[in-house]
Amino acid sequence: MKRLADWWFAPAPAERLAALRILIGGYALVYIAVRLREFIAVADYGRTQFQPVGVVRLLDAPLPSSVATAITIATCVVLVAFVVGAWYRVIAPLTALALLWTLTYRNSWGQVFHTENLLALHVIALALVPAADAWAPRVKPPGPSGDYGWPIKLLAALTAATYVLAGIAKLRLAGVDWLDGELLRNHIAVDNLRKALLGDPIAPLGHVFLDHPSQLIVFSVLTLVIELGAPVALLGRRLGYVWALGAWGFHVGVILMMNIWFPYPLLGIAFLPLVPAERIVQTVIKSARGIRLRLAR
């Protein structure tokens, strides 16, 4: 237990946790802002299309269009404050609740985007820890502390848990039959056929694997290895890098075979708790300063 506690509460710099706040919160802000029109549009859908899920089950009927729109815009506003780190103890919990509600409300009008679950979990976790003790207004960063170490491990554990649950779901639904590649072949065939019928772009390599199904055995096995083996990423930085690279490659493979995009991991944001994220923010800051100096000249 002492070894476990020493590992879980190992000191980490406040800047690393703050960098995760900035990068994950920044992704959430861009994600909502880019899809703002879509999030607002659902407010005008018919009541018969409203099937509440998650926290939105508190409602018996859709919110008035003006209220739903106001909540979506307010979510963007508090996300800006979240990224900046302003009034964090108040703003951060409000941001987590607003983001959870906004994403869930959108999912209550049709397809449930489970790809958003990890983003919501990461923001909720960041809202409950001291992620604004660095790179925030009127704040002088303290030294490394376990207070910043365990939240980073929590974020990494959440990432790993989502993959493990995906692997368990495959085994529950198909058992060891998943490994023979036939079920995966059926998924690829049905998904690409649906895209073709609806006029959507089909996957560039989908037909290749359908013509040579034996190759799918390797992909089926690797999928379970990556998903069920996700906890190894918590055992060390190098293992974390190797696993993150494998998980990223898995998502690239999904694009090539099924043209399904998971932007959160594809952009590497989901794997940031496994790396020294503060270096990314420091590089951006230095680059911005360099550009500003050049412009000043």
Residue 98 — left, alpha, or beta (φ > 0 → left; ψ -120 to 50 → alpha)? alpha
pLDDT tens, residue by residue, 62-109: 999 999 999 999 999 999 999 999 999 999 999 999 999 999 999 998
pLDDT tens, residue by residue, 115-149: 899 999 999 999 999 999 999 998 888 999 999 99
User: 121 vs 162, 173, 295, CA distance in Å?
Assistant: 10, 25, 40
**Which residues, including other chains, have CB under 8 Å from residue 119's CB and lie 6 or more apart?**
24, 27, 28, 31, 99, 103, 264, 269
Q: What is the DSSP code (8-state) at residue 179?
A: G
Q: Mean pLDDT in the chain?
A: 92
Please state, in angstroms and rounded to a whole number, the distance separating the CA atoms of residues 15 and 287: 18
pLDDT tens, residue by residue, 234-280: 999 999 999 999 999 999 999 999 989 999 999 999 999 999 999 99
Is the separation of the CB atoms in 166 and 230 below 8 Å? no
Other Cβ atoms less than 10 A from the Cβ of 115: the count is 16
The residues spanned by each domain of the chain are 2-296
Is the separation of the CB atoms in 15 and 149 below 8 Å? no
